Chain A
């Protein structure tokens, strides 16, 4: 089965740029979705099909996908962006999530 690899944690100062990566074999040929999950809340879709911002998601969030790495980029990071972020794709009809990356805003 397809494996998605994420770094366990990323830390960034407010106002800086956070890059959260998702590694997989030739992931650039896949459609990757990204979710934000805060404790005690339901996950929220932030990015669909690699680079399409979901409804209501600020322009500070962007996505890319090429080769063996998909990336979620958060510019001008705010305290409210602190959360776990998960990448996800379909392989081909089975859902696969990455292990998640905890974004800490310093």
Chain B
């Protein structure tokens, strides 16, 4: 099992960004993909998740409308996207898979560092 994330990004406030998470070694559609972030000096924070089969998504209420999660099942890839970045989005973003609705996150990507600075 592997979840391979795209490389680090440096962006300016207001710019858009999409980062990716490609799964392999398992049936991609059988597991939800979660996004979890770690802001500098802070703990883990759940961002949102998507069911690849239905594309149903749920978001952290504090981030609803600021980020969006999508998936391309043909590429076994999930995405986290911003249309207008803020400096406060700077942090490490992890993807992680989840088999069922109440299950833990049993396998994680290596993380993508997003830096937003003017």
Establish whether residues A48 and B103, one from each chain, have CB atoms under 8 Å apart when the complex forms. yes
With A95-B46, A97-B44 in contact, is A35–B105 under 8 Å at CB? yes
Establish whether residues B109 and A84, one from each chain, have CB atoms under 8 Å apart when the complex forms. no
Q: Mark B87-108, 1 if CB is under 8 A from A, else 0.
A: 0000000101000011111111
Q: Does B25 contact A (CB under 8 A)?
A: no
Establish whether residues B44 and A45, one from each chain, have CB atoms under 8 Å apart when the complex forms. no
Establish whether residues B60 and A90, one from each chain, have CB atoms under 8 Å apart when the complex forms. no
Q: Does B72 contact A (CB under 8 A)?
A: no
* Interface residue tally on A, bucketed by range: 20 to 34
Q: Which residues of A contact B24 (CB under 8 A)?
A: none
With A37-B44, A97-B45 in contact, is A45–B60 under 8 Å at CB? no
Q: Which residues of B contact A100 (CB under 8 A)?
A: 43-44
Q: Mark B71-93, 1 if CB is under 8 A from A, else 0.
A: 00000000000000000000000
Which residues of A from 8 to 38 have beta carbons under 8 Å from B?
31, 33, 35, 37
Q: How many A-B residue pairs have CB under 8 A?
A: 63
Establish whether residues B43 and A1, one from each chain, have CB atoms under 8 Å apart when the complex forms. no
Establish whether residues B110 and A45, one from each chain, have CB atoms under 8 Å apart when the complex forms. no
With A42-B94, A42-B110, A43-B94 in contact, is A98–B43 under 8 Å at CB? yes
With A93-B101, A95-B34 in contact, is A54–B106 under 8 Å at CB? yes
With A42-B109, A43-B108 in contact, is A86–B44 under 8 Å at CB? yes
Q: Which residues of A contact B61 (CB under 8 A)?
A: 1, 94
Q: Does A83 contact B (CB under 8 A)?
A: no
Assembled-state Cα–Cα distance A88/B98 (Å):
13
Which residues of A from 39 to 82 have beta carbons under 8 Å from B?
42-45, 48-49, 54-55
List 10 contacting pairs A-B, 8 Å CB cutoff, sorted by A: A33-B104, A35-B104, A43-B44, A45-B105, A49-B104, A55-B106, A84-B43, A88-B104, A95-B46, A99-B43
